[in-house]
Structure 1
Amino acid sequence: MSKVGFFRSIQLKFIIIYILLLILAMQLIGSFFMSELRDNLMENFTDSIDDRMELLSYNLEQAFSREHNDVLEGLSLGEEVQQIVDEININSTTTSIQVINNQGRILATNDINDRGDVGKKATRKIIENALFFNPPDPDVKWDQENEELLYIQALPLYNDGDIVVGVIYVEALIQSVYDQLEEISGIFLRGSILAISVAAFLGILVARTITKPIKEMRRQAQTMAKGDFTKKVNIYGKDEIGQLAETFNDLNGRLKHSYATIEEERRKLSSVLSNMSDGVIAIDNSGAITLMNEAAGRLISQNPDDLIGDYLLDVLQLEDRIVDITALQDSGSMIIDFSEDDELFLLRASFSNVLDDEEEITGFIAVLSDVTEQEKIEQERRDFVSNVSHELRTPLTTMKSYIEALTDGAWEDKDIAPKFLGVAQNETDRMIRMVNDLLQLSKMDADEYPMHKERTEFIEYFHQVVDRLEISIPEHITLKRELPKSGKLNVWIDKDKMTQVLDNIISNAIKYSPEGGEIRLKVENKRHFLLVSVQDQGIGIAYDKLEKIFERFYRADRARTRKLGGTGLGLAITKELVEAHHGKIWAKSKEGKGTTILFTLPLMSQKRRGNR
């Protein structure tokens, strides 16, 4: 990760924000201060003018009220007015005063330069307004000739009858007030610049105190990203940033522990994969290989490191080598033929999904197993079953005919004949059932066993099968049904073959149930398939023998099986029939606590139901 420059750093942002806030505050303060100062200076200036004008107005109104005497102590009205104007205490260099009578003529002025205008007609609009009872407000104007600001005011003079007898016109130089304001503004500006400079320096210090621990945490995060969890960030206080640093250090410790745990699990997994006899291949969603152990490389005679990233279909050449697919639902397995010349070499590839936290498929795991010997044994067993069934069929038929002949006439010996005939008859029936079972298995192995599937509502069909069996079961055995009470569950099955499956499973449960035992018959809707289970309360099966009960001729308890008339082929036939319906079958058991046989059947989809 590249280093963040100063002009892109959070430190500069803090400084800029700090200075902008200060500038805004000083701008508001300066605007308010200068506005108030200007109003105050203007008020003082106008108050000073108004005080003198009030005194001058009083004296002039007295003089105008004596106008009828024409002469006072030898002075005319104009001379008296000029004398009053000259005596007023006003700075004549900054203030110009003119007194105008009601005819609009100038009677007196304090400006020596304007003495020549005495007796002339005053033409200013403000004076005319003051004479005609419309006294104007004071005003400020720009004197273009002298290039300065002037304060002007026209004040009417009244006699005793409130009649305007004259006007006082005042022009005062107000430029000094604005010069004073400008000087004060300059001082304020220089002070603001100094304050902003000091604030910028302090802002850098303040920003560094905030950004320093953040920079340390950033460097520590980069170090942690490399797998180094030995360092910790410094804690500079108990504020929010200090608490963040404490949390960061706690996170560092937790990540260190988690990383160590993950690393330990990774080593364990690596060791397991390295020492497995089965090959393991991990595949992503696109079908590309992401992991392969050494055992998988040995099985397919290729270097695992060279195959990472290649597609599994290309590596295993599945299109040309698939021999048998045994499951096609959520996960399945297939037999792949790697035989060369006359040397048989078969691999079983079992696939399982890899799901994330949201149950979405993110990849697949393929487990490769060498099943060459297993397939050879299975083939030999199939051949044996076929041969034995054909070899035994003729003598069994002859034996059955002989026993029937004996029962027709050789029963005179009341002690031996009935016993002999009974035993022979039972053995003959049992062996005939064995031959029939063997023939059925042989046909299924050779795919010569026809299936007549049809759409079937399973719950109604299941009730029919159980009702038939319930009639003939011993009274001390109870069948308890746990079936869905709503909805139709349609399956695509051969009713005769599925009846044989249920008969085999439930009959076994009845045979091995003790007196007073209860057999639970349960059907569950698992969305895409049905789960059927038959649970008894019999003697149970040892864990190490549980997977063998579906093998041909296997008996968990040989003596008890023979006593009950079993052939050892019922569950093997059941397994073949269930798998022929694209289902799975398995068992759960504990010795002394009974056995549960479970199998699945695919539910018909809505689309398929509509088509059918």
Structure 2
Amino acid sequence: MNKVGFFRSIQLKFIIIYILLLVLAMQVIGAFFIKELEDRLLTNFKSSIEERMQLLSYNLEQAFEKERNEDADEMSLQAEVQQIIEDISTNVGSTSIQVINHQGRILGTNDPNYQGDIGKKTTNDTIENALLFNTFKDDMFFDQETEERVYIQARPIMNDEEIVVGVIYVKASIQVVYDQLQDISEIFLQGSVLAISVSIFLGVLVARSITKPIVEMRKQAQKMANGDFNQKVNVYGKDEIGQLAETFNNLNIRLKHSYATIEEERKKLSSVLTNMSDGVIATDTSGAITLMNDAAGRLIGKNPDELIGEYLLDVLQLEGKVVDISELHDSGSMIIDFSENTNEPFLIRANFSTVSDDEEEITGFITVISDVTEQEKVEQERREFVSNVSHELRTPLTTMKSYIEALTDGAWQDKDIAPRFLSVAQNETDRMIRMVNDLLQLSKMDADEYPLNREQVDFISFFHQVIDRLEMNKPEHITFIREIPKNKYIVWIDKDKMTQVLDNIISNAVKYSPEGGIIRLKVEKKRNFLVISVQDQGIGIAYDKLEKIFERFYRADKARSRKLGGTGLGLAITKELVEAHHGKIWARSKEGKGTTILFTLPLISRKRRETR
């Protein structure tokens, strides 16, 4: 089991949870604190403005009332209003104050920027609404010119008859309140960072104290998984984790005894399964694999450990062929073809049985598999051999029987027909004799009862002699072309057997060559062996049938082969003889473009020639 990194450990999760809870609490407290502080500061600011504006409003109401009662002119009222504003401006700081009469004209202001507007009519919507609708209006907004937050207030001035005679318009910067909030927020943030840093340190200590017993139990569990039950975990207290540690130690003791018993049984079972040559697969009632030995893995071609939990029907490639696993085991045994996975013939015999408990309830299934490829191949070859021999012998026997019956019925008296019938019977007899001789030769080679009388031979000279002999008897329409080097190459061969090999190959090339055909006879030296090839321009052989031409009784063109008198054993004997000389034989062909038969012979080195 791999070591758990810090970033994946429960210790880090404790620390993260601890810090998240702390941050969440500080966020809630900070948000509440800042909100309450903002409300208090704004309320105090508005209260201070309100107190001054009430005093200003009272003085202005007296001035407007006096002007109405004494019928003073507007200039005297304007001067008195300006005087009142200047008196109160000493206590309002940077607050801008404007007093507007009921006609919308500015009577006075303490703002130097608006001194030139005194006597002019204002266009401020807030002031006009206060005059028209007798409404008190206050608001906050961000001033784009000063880039500060400002507070405005429009307060109607009423006379004794509750008629609006003017408006006090106040504009005060409230940015100082938000600057204070910003400073306090930064201080709170710094305190939060410090608190979090201290909390992380404390969180690590707390998390370690909680996770230390768990880490020890994890390490002990890893040792138990490896079969070490000798150590115990420490108990640090009587809390839930301490009780868990005590329970873990009790479990350790019990597992130690159980493991010893199971290990003894496992070794017995493992020894039996390991030493079995057959594969054993155990499954549960659903067909899922619970146990498989190495022999079964080698037969199936997969790691047994990777197949645990897989279904037997899928592993044995029986999905769709068998409906249920119980049906599979009811069959007792079957032959399974695994050739698709290996691209070679591969057959497995599977024998099935059930596993039952004390109450005769089926708890699982056992499948024993074994490789029967060679056995089935030998059996199949035996059947094919018997079938081929029977078929090959039946044809000449049937022919002979027909002609002999015809002769018996009186054809022997016909001087024209009788000799022809006897000639056919004699040819068929000779054919059967050749076939029997070939079969006896193959039988002796299979039983290693066909000794080779080897000698050192210059293959180039020997090859020319064989070609010369065959060239004298070849049809006139066939041409031999020799591509043979003039060097001297010594081989260790049985001249009679090698003559038979060359006769078989060249004779086949002659038989299957068309009118005007060319047969190329070639020898090449490749390192420490010779490559001999015979190429014709015959009908050729299909690619999928090329490897079969060296099998017994196989004919690429059966009708033509029988017509030419072949037994179907020539190339099979040739292959056996070439391999007996430690060579290899193979073929190359394309349909309609001829066939090339190639085989190799090992060369004798100079040292070996001198020794012999």
Q: TM-score, normalised by structure 2?
A: 0.46
Q: TM-score, normalised by structure 1?
A: 0.46
